[in-house]
Structure 1
Amino acid sequence: MHPENHLALHHARAAELRAEADAYRLAAAARHPRRPRDLCTRLGWALVEVGLRLAAAPKAAAAIP
């Protein structure tokens, strides 16, 4: 195959893939509305931290005379 033909086919296929990716992103955004992940993440880690402190509290309280 001539190099220019190969390059033209490559560009056409790349454009098709980009269009499919854009359509998929739009469909995914319509199916699942975004929620504030930053807030959920921070809340989750805060709960983990509280749980770890509660789990470690009896050992620390038993060491104090």
Structure 2
Amino acid sequence: MNKTEMSRRVSEKSGIDFEVCRKVVDALEKVMEEELADTKGLGGKIDKIYNVMHFFKGKKEENK
């Protein structure tokens, strides 16, 4: 899935305008880039990615 597809799906699921979703996805990408750039070592970066994925998985389970 690329950013356009992600933005479109978020727009469809949330009812929020596609262009607004695109801006949010772009901003999330920048925040993640900054966080990973500030993290030392590959292990630290993998931990951060794991924590983000775990966060989203928890949100998905809450919405079931």
- Measured against the shorter chain, the TM-score band is 0.3 to 0.5
Give the alignment's TM-score, normalised by structure 1: 0.38
Q: Give the structure with higher Rg (CA).
A: 1
Give the alignment's TM-score, normalised by structure 2: 0.38
Higher relative contact order (CA 8 A, sep 6+): 2
